[in-house]
Amino acid sequence: MILRAVTVRPEMLARGPWAPADIEARWADTPWEAPADLEREADARIEALRERGSPTHDGLSGRLARYEQTDSGLVLECEPARWAVRLVEGKASDSLTALCAVRTRDGRWLAGRRAAWVATWAGRWALGAGGAVDVGESPAHTLTRELDEEWKIVPEALQVEALIRLPNGLTMVVGLATVADDTEPVMDAEHDTWEWWPADVGEWPPHADERLQGMARFLNS
């Protein structure tokens, strides 16, 4: 099997859906070394977080080196990489993240507003749950882990929908979880409020920005 190197384009790298078991993650033993100028920019982002009182755990998380869509699923070659690189706008260097959108069986979407103190997306609304892929972890497991950590939800069903590359340089594994209509999320400290948004994206509230609407329409397609 020949794995393709990740490139800046296209934005859509691979399209599912796949079952979580169809996602294979292969981890390199040696961490990826960021260029010196990128390390300096990451240092500056960490210092900015300290100045506004946000946690600065840094450490290592995942980076996507190569990928391959096969007849049976998706193969991801991953490397440990410095977590703070993902904070460098436009230069996140394929730092690997996961987003698990959540819908009830009747189609409503779970949305939460990120707390003001968090390191990323502070004060902004987001769909479902998400976060960095831990070293050695399958991104499919990241989806369910983040869903449990952020909302204490165990989904009735879960599909991995796509692998995409974001404009800021992050590479994202996108999943979609289905939950019962009467599900009551238990919010973690990284959020300050939450809502169920209507099934029809056109009926979403004004604080649902265009990026969230675009993701929902993509998942509907």
Instruction: Tell me the pLDDT tens digit for each residue of 119-164.
Output: 888 999 999 999 999 999 999 999 999 999 999 999 999 999 999 9
Burial of 58 (0-12, 13-18, 19+ CB in 10 A): middle
pTM: 0.92
What burial letters (b/e) apply to 147-182, b meaning 16+ CB within 10 Å?
beebbebebeebbbbbbbbeeebbbbbbbbbebeee
Residue 190, exposed/middle/buried by CB under 10 A (0-12, 13-18, 19+)?
A: buried
Q: What domains can be seen in the chain, in order of their start residue?
A: 4-220 (3.90.79.10)
Residue 10 has pLDDT above 60, yes or no: no
Task: Report whether pLDDT(8) > 50.
Answer: no
- Token readout for 192 is 């300050």
* Structure-token pair, residue 2: 């020949």
Query: Does 10 sit behind a cis peptide bond, omega within 30 degrees of 0 on the bond before it?
Result: yes
Mean pLDDT to the nearest integer, 70-86: 96
Average pLDDT score, the chain: 93
State the greatest distance between any 2 C-alpha atoms of the chain, in Å, as a whole number.
50
Where do the DSSP E strands lie in the chain? Answer: 4-5, 12-18, 23-27, 60-69, 74-82, 96-104, 109-114, 125-127, 129-132, 157-165, 171-179, 191-197
| pLDDT surpassing 90 at residue 51 | no
User: How many residues does this entry show for the chain?
Assistant: 221
State the amino acid at position 94 in one-letter form: D
Give the C-alpha separation, 158 to 164, whole Å. Answer: 18
